[in-house]
Amino acid sequence: MKFKKVAVILATIILFFGLINVKTSAAKFNLPKGTIVVNNYYQFYSQIKSAVSGQKTSLILYVKNFNSAYDLQKAINQVQYEIFNKNYAVSSLGYKNVSNNKDRLIYITLNYSKVDGCAKSYYELKNIIKKNITKKPDILRIKVLLNSTEIEQKRVQVIDDLKKDIVGENYIDSLKVSVSGLTGSKVKVYNYKLSYKEQEQDVKESFLKSENVNSLISNEDKEEKSAVLTNDDEIIDLLKKSIINCDETLKLNIVKGYLNNDLKAITNRIFDMVNNIIQEDMDLSYVNNISIGSSYDEISQINLDIEFKYDYSRETILNQHSELNKKAKEIIESIINKDMTDFEKELAIHDYIINNTRYDIDNYYNGSIPWESYTSYGVLVKGVAVCQGYANAMSKLLTLAGIENMIITGKANGEPHAWNLVKLDGEWYHVDVTWDDPIFYKNGTKIDAKRYDYFNITDSQMMKDHIWDMNAYPKCTETKYRYNN
């Protein structure tokens, strides 16, 4: 999923000489067992194609002289196009990068889903459904090549188009469709969730000929109506509440006319919303995947059925939430008092995080960063994290202290990174707790240190080694609360 990929990338922080005084070389860089060294894009693509063709679930590549041309997702999408007629599809992709000077070690994980047929046209899609429908499958998965608007626009209407051709004693009572596949790929999987009714032949024929039957919604769906949502904010609010609560399913009923009733556009909007929710709060990055079924009811109200998949059990996640919130409250009570200014509160939080957290350097180099290291839980409970965890913890504690803030994402020395913006006396400042918590080596011994080089600095100071979308965030020009100002 798109949102899962972002979660991994944001946590990969550049470790350069100013932040970590470590020199690595190809000779000293120990490659994991099974690593394949590639010297050019042709070798890179060949290894990706071999892995996907053989349905391998893991692959480790060491890419010499890595550059932007080595686009993993683009390569996999091209492979899926070339081997389209295989009876499976790549359902999700995960990867972690470890930089070694100009080279890159890439850990790749792949998941696959079996399909019941492959369709390059709407005609083929109809025939596959017609062939399989007599078996009464609960789920029918069809790999499609989105090379025409017809196969996209009619993914729901196809059952209605087939009514006159369906024979036997069964007919479809309800249909829901979700679309899965990698971002940017023309190869997708249509997941048809079907239910059936047993009726006499004459009743069946009458049903099939009826123009008034709504085949896209079941009686159960009609009984589960909730408030009709009218805008993005209402939708985002329900999505976030469901993710925080680890709900397995969520039913959204959206007002007629939303995004011109374009189900494809609506589905894509929901995916983007979930992705943004996770980007803004990586403590919610335990979401592994979502699927969306869409339909209209008799008055053209838009109905979405969302299924969430998580990396951990609901019990585990909620227990961590509880433990984290308790710990965060204890920290604020121990380091903050009512007589402090907001600047003093921010400084106390900054120092607490640095004094009680170490960067997860070992897992970073091994490409084995655990989920907790991306989160506030990693910082405040485990005491170990990467950049996204530092930023999340800083944001959480600042919020509890009543200080307005936000997490900002961009790049540091060319690599994806996350840090914070803090608002004091109406002005915004950059603060990068990760880069104020460097790791040095002295006589072979690892030494943690604390500094204030990135505490409450301006845009012009920050842009020396950080870049971000300056139109997406507040301007930072004030120097009043710069450390030692």
pLDDT tens digits, residue range 37-60? 999 999 999 999 999 999 888 889
4 falls within a domain: no
Give me the pLDDT at residue 299, please: 55
328/357 same-domain check: yes
Tell me: pLDDT of 109 over 90: no
Q: How many other C-beta atoms lie within 10 A of the C-beta of residue 22?
A: 14
Torsion of CA 404, 407, 410, 414, to 10 degrees: 110
275/319 same-domain check: no
What does R_g of the chain's alpha carbons equal in angstroms?
26
Contacts 24+ apart (CB under 8 A), 399-407: 400/328, 400/329, 400/332, 401/332, 401/336, 401/342, 401/345, 401/346, 401/349, 402/342, 402/345, 403/342, 403/345, 403/346, 406/473, 407/280, 407/281
Q: How many other C-beta atoms lie within 10 A of the C-beta of residue 168?
A: 10
349/264 same-domain check: no
- Comparing 242 with 173, which gets the higher pLDDT? 242
3 falls within a domain: no
408/432 same-domain check: yes
What is the number of structural domains in the chain? 3
Lowest mean pLDDT among 18-27, 396-405, 412-421, 425-434: 18-27
- 178: closest CA among 163, 194, 160, 195? 194
CB contact set of 333 (below 8 Å; sequence gap of 6+): none
* Domain C-terminal end among 285, 310, 335: 310
Q: Kindly give the interhelix angle for 387-400 and 314-335, rounded to the nearest 10 degrees.
A: 60
176/270 same-domain check: yes
Q: Which run of H or E residues covers position 90?
A: strand 88-100
Tell me: pLDDT of 275 over 80: yes
476 falls within a domain: no
231/261 same-domain check: yes
Work out the average pLDDT over 417-430.
96
| pLDDT tens readout for residues 173-191 | 666 777 877 877 888 888 8
Give me the pLDDT at residue 302, please: 85
474 falls within a domain: no
- Rounded to the nearest integer, the mean pLDDT of the chain is 80
Exposure b/e, 108-120, CB count within 10 A at least 16 = b = bebeeeebbbbbb
Give me the pLDDT at residue 460, please: 96
Give the 3-state secondary structure of residue 298: coil
- Comparing 246 with 98, which gets the higher pLDDT? 246
Give me the pLDDT at residue 355, please: 92
* Domain C-terminal end among 259, 282, 310: 310
132/245 same-domain check: yes
Q: How many other C-beta atoms lie within 10 A of the C-beta of residue 322?
A: 10
Residue type, 401: A
- 412: closest CA among 394, 438, 450, 379? 438
Q: Token pair 């359902």 is at which residue?
A: 91
Parallel, antiparallel, or unpaired: how do β-strands 187-198 and 228-229 relate? Answer: unpaired
2 falls within a domain: no
Give me the pLDDT at residue 73, please: 85
138 falls within a domain: yes
Domain ranges, residue 85: 31-112
In the chain, count of helices (H) and strands (E)? 16, 21
Joined together, the tokens standing for residue 121 give 């046209």
Give me the pLDDT at residue 440, please: 53
Q: Where are the alpha helices (DSSP H) in 369-433?
A: 376-377, 387-400
Rounded Cα distance between 168 and 15, Å, is 65
Joined together, the tokens standing for residue 224 give 């589960």
Give me the pLDDT at residue 205, please: 38
262/127 same-domain check: yes
105/188 same-domain check: no
- The pTM of this model reads 0.54
Contact between residue 49 and residue 82 where contact means Cβ atoms under 8 Å apart: yes
Per-residue confidence at 216, pLDDT binned at 50, 70, 90?
very low
279/388 same-domain check: no
* Domain C-terminal end among 277, 310, 343: 310
Joined together, the tokens standing for residue 312 give 């951990």
337/452 same-domain check: yes
Q: Token pair 């889903």 is at which residue?
A: 113
5 falls within a domain: no
